Chains A and B, each alone.
Chain A
Amino acid sequence: MDLVDRIETTRFLGGEFVLWLWFSRDVTGGEIMIKGRGMLVVSLETQLALADPVADRERVAIRGVDPFGSAEAGEALRTGKLPRKVGLRIVFEQDEWVATLDSNTLALSGVKLPASSAQSTEETFYERVRRLEQLHELVHALYAHFLAVRLSPSWESDVVPALRGWVASGEVMDEKRFERLHSKRDAGDATRPERAPASKTRAKPPRGGKKAAAGR
């Protein structure tokens, strides 16, 4: 298979990545610990477009305060659509970035960078590029975190059943179990799947995340 074929036949990974981000947000409230980097707080907000991975033209676009908690979003997932474009907010250390992520290409648009104190044109250039590079590094770190579990046997044994339950009913995985599944993973090293404890999942309010749930 040449590079072009590989690029095309693995595009689905982008949609799965964003779905996993969405699921993570509902499990952990968006706090994702990345090995060697620290804690990232990821929010999904303001815009959501879902598309059928096979028939890309079948799309649903939802805007609003929390499109991810809407009934339309849940229904779209239950009919097999995956997130195509999402509004993303990442907080790392004291800094915050906002962007729209296209899951098909992992391209970021409408990026808002952390506040800058740059004065000169030269300073502005370096600051903007450095901040843009940082944002891409953070998204790559999240993607690597996802990929580590996606390539591990626990994807099929633990994560997919949990994701299916969440898609069907909004039921989310236990936070500690989610963290255990992800903490040992390293994209360079597949490990055996974790055995599920007796109680694998816990009932949660409809998808929308901890914050949204707290507000209900």
Chain B
Amino acid sequence: MGALTGPLSTTQLYVRGELPKNMRRSFMERVALRTFRPLDPEEEAEERAGWCALGQPFDLDLSPDKLFNGPYLTLGLRVDRYRFPARVVQAELAKASHAALQKSGHEQLSRSQKTELKRKVIAALRRRYFPNMIGVDLVWNLDAGEAFFWSQSRSLLERLGALFELCFGLTLVENGPFVAAERCISERRRPELDRLERTIFHAEVRDGSG
């Protein structure tokens, strides 16, 4: 899903808030703090999001020449998540339970033993499999205060909004009928937008209203 190749299905976003002084240096420092850190199978976290290079989810070495391209700040949002099909977890758990019962000689496992066993099964699965990875490009026109994100997924947009705000201290607002309207009209006319009502075009109401 990228700025360089592939389909162009994007979400247009507007950046709200003031850019810092010494913007390049400030942004480099901020991005470094939120660069993606791969998940470790031994840790508790099931999911993590962070920045990567544009179009290169595995490139986590974010140097200024990768970030700043003309008027654009370019990044990738990388989200990794461990997610195993319930059937796989159940099958592994059944196998582990059987082995534990044989070893202990008991007829059944206690609740705490089951919880511990499940934790071990998940940890073993994490060591065997890679997490699911998603990389989505973000191109921010710093002059225009507009950005394109190469996805329209609600959950990814929420992820992006949260990370962006944490990282840059700025808010992303999605384009849409109201936001676009606000940008089209003069400030003194904006209250008119609040008073607008939906127009009915089909005959039902037209006949009723004479």
Task: Determine which of A79, A125, A160, A187 lies in contact with B199 in the assembled complex, contact meaning CB atoms within 8 Å.
Answer: A160
Interface residue A6 (Cβ < 8 Å from any Cβ of B) = yes
User: How far is it, in angstroms, between the C-alpha of A182 and the C-alpha of B11 when the chains are bound?
Assistant: 29
Which partner residue on chain A sits nearest B187 by CB separation?
A: A188
Question: Are B180 and A140 in contact, CB atoms less than 8 angstroms apart?
Answer: yes
User: How far is it, in angstroms, between the C-alpha of A53 and the C-alpha of B200 when the chains are bound?
Assistant: 10
User: How far is it, in angstroms, between the C-alpha of A121 and the C-alpha of B180 when the chains are bound?
Assistant: 31
**Which residues of A line the B interface, CB within 8 A?**
1, 3, 6-7, 10-14, 16-17, 19, 53, 77-80, 82, 99, 103-113, 121-122, 124-126, 128-129, 132-133, 136, 140, 143-144, 147-148, 150-151, 155, 160, 163-164, 167-168, 187-190
Question: Are B3 and A125 in contact, CB atoms less than 8 angstroms apart?
Answer: yes
Q: Which interface residue of B139, B175, B186, B200 has the most chain A CB atoms within 10 A?
A: B175
User: How far is it, in angstroms, between the C-alpha of A180 and the C-alpha of B171 when the chains are bound?
Assistant: 40
22 residue pairs A–B, Cβ–Cβ below 8 Å: A1-B194, A6-B178, A14-B177, A77-B202, A82-B201, A105-B11, A105-B174, A109-B10, A111-B7, A122-B69, A125-B69, A126-B70, A128-B8, A133-B141, A151-B189, A155-B199, A160-B199, A163-B201, A167-B201, A188-B185, A188-B189, A189-B186
Tell me the smallest distance from the CB of B66 to a CB of chain A, in Å. Answer: 12
Tell me the smallest distance from the CB of A156 to a CB of chain B, in Å. Answer: 8
List, in ascending order, chain B residues with CB within 8 A of A121's CB.
4
User: How far is it, in angstroms, between the C-alpha of A151 and the C-alpha of B194 when the chains are bound?
Assistant: 11
Question: Are A129 and B72 in contact, CB atoms less than 8 angstroms apart?
Answer: yes
Known: A106-B176, A163-B201. A140 touches B183 (CB 8 A): yes
Question: Are B177 and A164 in contact, CB atoms less than 8 angstroms apart?
Answer: no
User: How far is it, in angstroms, between the C-alpha of A107 and the C-alpha of B10 when the chains are bound?
Assistant: 7
Which partner residue on chain A sits nearest B198 by CB separation?
A: A12
List, in ascending order, chain B residues with CB within 8 A of A14's CB.
176-177
Question: Are A187 and B8 in contact, CB atoms less than 8 angstroms apart?
Answer: no
**CB-based A-B contact count at 8 angstroms:** 147
User: How far is it, in angstroms, between the C-alpha of A17 and the C-alpha of B180 when the chains are bound?
Assistant: 12
Which partner residue on chain B sits nearest A113 by CB separation?
A: B8
Question: Are A187 and B189 in contact, CB atoms less than 8 angstroms apart?
Answer: yes
Interface residue B206 (Cβ < 8 Å from any Cβ of A) = yes
Interface residue B196 (Cβ < 8 Å from any Cβ of A) = yes
User: How far is it, in angstroms, between the C-alpha of A70 and the C-alpha of B183 when the chains are bound?
Assistant: 35
User: How far is it, in angstroms, between the C-alpha of A12 and the C-alpha of B193 when the chains are bound?
Assistant: 12
Tell me the smallest distance from the CB of B71 to a CB of chain A, in Å. Answer: 10
Interface residue B113 (Cβ < 8 Å from any Cβ of A) = no
List, in ascending order, chain B residues with CB within 8 A of A136's CB.
12, 175
List, in ascending order, chain B residues with CB within 8 A of A190's CB.
189, 192
Q: Mark B5-35, 1 if CB is under 8 A from A, else 0.
A: 1011111100000000000000000000000
User: How far is it, in angstroms, between the C-alpha of A107 and the C-alpha of B148 when the chains are bound?
Assistant: 11
List, in ascending order, chain B residues with CB within 8 A of A82's CB.
201
User: How far is it, in angstroms, between the C-alpha of A79 and the C-alpha of B202 when the chains are bound?
Assistant: 6
